[in-house]
Amino acid sequence: MQLSIKGLEDKASWQKANIKLPTYDIKKMRSVTSSKPEWIHFGAGNIFRGFIAALQDKLLNEGLEQSGIIATETFDYDIIKKIYDPFDNLTLMVTLKASGDLDMNIIASIAEGIRADSSDADEWAKLKKIFVNPSLKMVSYTITEKGYALRDMKGELFPVVVSDMKNGPDNPKHAMSVTASLLLERFRANAQPVAVVSMDNCSHNGEKLRASVLEVAKSWVDNSFADKSFYEWLSNEKIVSFPWSMIDKITPRPSEIVEEKLKSLGVENMQPVITNKNTYIAPFVNAEAPQYLVIEDNFPNGRPALEKAGVYMTDRETVNNTERMKVTTCLNPLHTALAVYGCMLGYKKIADEMSDPELKKLVETVGYKEGLPVVVNPKILDPKKFIDEVVGERLPNSYLPDTPQRIATDTSQKIPVRFGETLKSYLASSELNIKNLVAIPLTLAGWLRYLTGIDDNGEAMPVSSDPMLENLQAEMKANGIKNILSNKNIFGVDLYEAGLAEKVSGYFDELNAGKGAVRKTLKKYLG
C-alpha cells in the first residue's frame, strides 16, 4: 500500500489493515482550499500533523468544514521536500494507547505544503497569495518557543533579526519577520481581519507572538519600509487578534516498533528520514491518545467549528489558568525533571523512568506537593485529576517511545516558565515559604549538573541542543554556577533574591561529588 492520493483508491487493502480512510472528497477539499484558503499553519512537524491537522480532518469527515489547512515551514524546508511532497501531503496517524492497542487512520486535511522561504520566488508568491485573500481566517503556529524569540540570553537582538529590521519586509528570514511581512501584504491588499494564533507549548504564547511581530513591524515603520497605519492596524486586536492557547499532546520521534508494524501490514516506504536540520521524522506520526487544546475564542474573521472537534473555546483568563496549570505545575515541570535526571542515569525512555522509585517520587513531589498549592483551578479541567492522568497513565505508557534526550532539548528556554512561574507564586504568597521547596530546586540543580555532560557513572554523555548551551558551559567552566543563579532570563527570578541560590548550589555540589552522586543525592532528599 502506498501513502498517496492514488494509493488510497485501494480501499480494501487499507480496511483490511484496520487503517481508517478519510470519508470526504480530498480533491474537492483541496480545490476549495486553493480558491478560498481559510487556515494556514506555520510549523509542519509532528504536533501539527498528528494533532492540529487531525482536528480539521475530523471536521471534514463529519461534513462540518469544506476547507483544509495549508502547512508552511520556516525552519526545516526538508520536511516539506521529504515528508510532504512524496506522500501527497498525507499523514498516517498511529495512536499509541497505554493498553498497547493501536488506532490508525489517514489524515488528509493538509491541502498543501509550502516552504516559507522568501528567497524562493515561487514559494513566496504562494504565501503572499494566501495572505491577501480575504477568505483567510486563521494563521496558526507550532514553531517551538524559541521560534518567537528575537533576542539572546543577554537581551540583544539576534543578527538575523537585526538584518530583517534593517533590510525591510521584502526578503525576511526570521519566522516573526516572515509573519510581519505577510501581514503587511494583507494590510496593503485589503486590510481584512485575521486571527494569528500560537499553539505552541509555552506560557502566554499569544502575547509572545504578538510582541515579536509588533516589534519587527515597528522597526519597519521607523525605517520607512511601512506606513504607520500598518502598525496601527496590526495593533488593533479587534482586527488582527492574537488569541492565547494551551496545547497538550505528546508526539515523540517515530517508533521503530510502529514502523515495523506498518511494514508488516503492507504499508510501503514508512522509514524515517533525517533532514538537513537534524529533524528525525517519518511519513507516519505516533502519539499518545490524551490530548488537550484550549483556545481564546477571539477570531475577527470567523473560524472553523473547532469546539466540535474537542477543542475548548473559551476566554483568555481560562486559557491562562489552564496553561499555567499544565505548563508551570502539572505536566511540563515533571517532564523536565525526568529529562535531565533520566539522561544522567542512563535512561532511554521516559516510561521506564516511572519505574524508578526516586524519579517517580521526584515528579510526584514537583507536581502534587510543590505545584498544586499554587495552581489556579481553570474549572474546565481539574488540576489533581490532570496530574493523576499524567503520573498514572501518560508518563508510564511504555508504548510511547518518548526519550529524556528529546525532552531535554532547549531546556534553558523552558526553565523560566516551567519553574520560574511557580517560584514567583511562592514569593507572592503570604502562606507558602519558598525555602521549604525541595524537588524544584533539586531539579534546577540537576539541570545544571546535566550541562556538565557527565553521567552518573562518570562517563561523557551527549547534551541535547540548546541555544544557550555553549554560553552556559563556558560560564560554568570559568566561574562555576554562581553567576548563572542570578540570571532572571534563565530562572524567571534571581535565585539569590528568592532565597534559593544556596540550596541549589548545595544540591549541585552534592550531585557532582563523584561517581554515583546523582543517585545518592536523589535518595538522600527523596528516599
Per-residue model confidence as pLDDT tens digits over 513-527 = 999 999 999 999 998
491: cell is: 530562572
Prediction pTM value: 0.86
491: how many CB neighbours lie within 10 A of its CB?
A: 22
Q: What are phi and psi of 263, to 5 degrees?
A: -65, -40
Pairing mode, strands 102-107 and 91-96: antiparallel
Going from the C-alpha of 162 to that of each of 19, 73, 118, 183, the distances in angstroms are: 48, 21, 17, 19
Strand order of the β-sheet with 240-241 is: 110-115, 69-73, 39-42, 138-141, 194-198, 240-241
Distance, CA of 355 to CA of 362 (rounded, Å) = 12
Distance, CA of 206 to CA of 199 (rounded, Å) = 8
Q: What is the pLDDT along the chain (527 residues), one digit of tens a residue?
A: 999 999 999 999 999 999 999 999 999 999 999 999 999 999 999 999 999 999 999 999 999 999 999 999 999 999 999 999 999 999 999 999 888 889 999 999 999 999 999 999 999 999 999 999 999 999 999 999 889 999 987 889 999 999 999 999 999 999 999 999 999 999 999 999 999 999 998 888 999 999 999 999 999 999 999 999 999 999 999 999 999 999 999 898 899 999 999 999 999 999 999 999 999 999 999 999 999 999 999 999 999 999 999 999 999 999 999 998 998 899 999 999 999 999 999 999 999 999 999 999 999 999 999 999 999 899 999 999 999 999 999 999 988 888 999 999 999 999 998 999 999 999 999 999 999 999 999 999 999 999 999 999 999 999 999 989 999 999 999 999 999 999 999 999 999 999 999 999 999 999 999 999 999 999 999 98
According to DSSP, residue 9 is labeled: G
Question: Can you give the pLDDT at residue 399?
Answer: 86
Going from the C-alpha of 443 to that of each of 373, 418, 423, 489, the distances in angstroms are: 18, 11, 13, 17
On the 0-12 / 13-18 / 19+ scale of CB atoms within 10 A, 238 is exposed
Question: Can you give the pLDDT at residue 203?
Answer: 80
User: Using CA of residue 375, residue 380, residue 383, residue 386, what is the dihedral sign?
Assistant: negative
Tell me: the pLDDT tens digits for 125-160? Answer: 999 999 999 999 999 999 998 899 999 878 899 999
Distance, CA of 354 to CA of 362 (rounded, Å) = 10
Distance, CA of 105 to CA of 103 (rounded, Å) = 7
Distance, CA of 489 to CA of 498 (rounded, Å) = 14
**Could you tell me if 28 and 109 are in contact, meaning their C-beta atoms sit under 8 angstroms apart?**
no
How many helices and strands in the chain, by DSSP H and E?
25, 15
Q: Report the run of H or E that residue 79 belongs to, with start and end.
A: helix 78-79
296: cell is: 481564546
Distance, CA of 436 to CA of 442 (rounded, Å) = 12
Q: Which of 367, 377, 382, 384 is closest to 328 using CA atoms? A: 367
Tell me: the pLDDT tens digits for 334-362? Answer: 999 999 999 999 999 999 999 999 999 99
**Could you tell me if 374 and 422 are in contact, meaning their C-beta atoms sit under 8 angstroms apart?**
yes
According to DSSP, residue 473 is labeled: H
Mean pLDDT, the chain, integer: 96
Question: Can you give the pLDDT at residue 365?
Answer: 98
Percent of the chain that is helix, strand, coil (3-state, to 5): 50, 10, 40
Q: Which of 57, 24, 61 is closest to 39 using CA atoms? A: 57
**Could you tell me if 136 and 54 are in contact, meaning their C-beta atoms sit under 8 angstroms apart?**
no
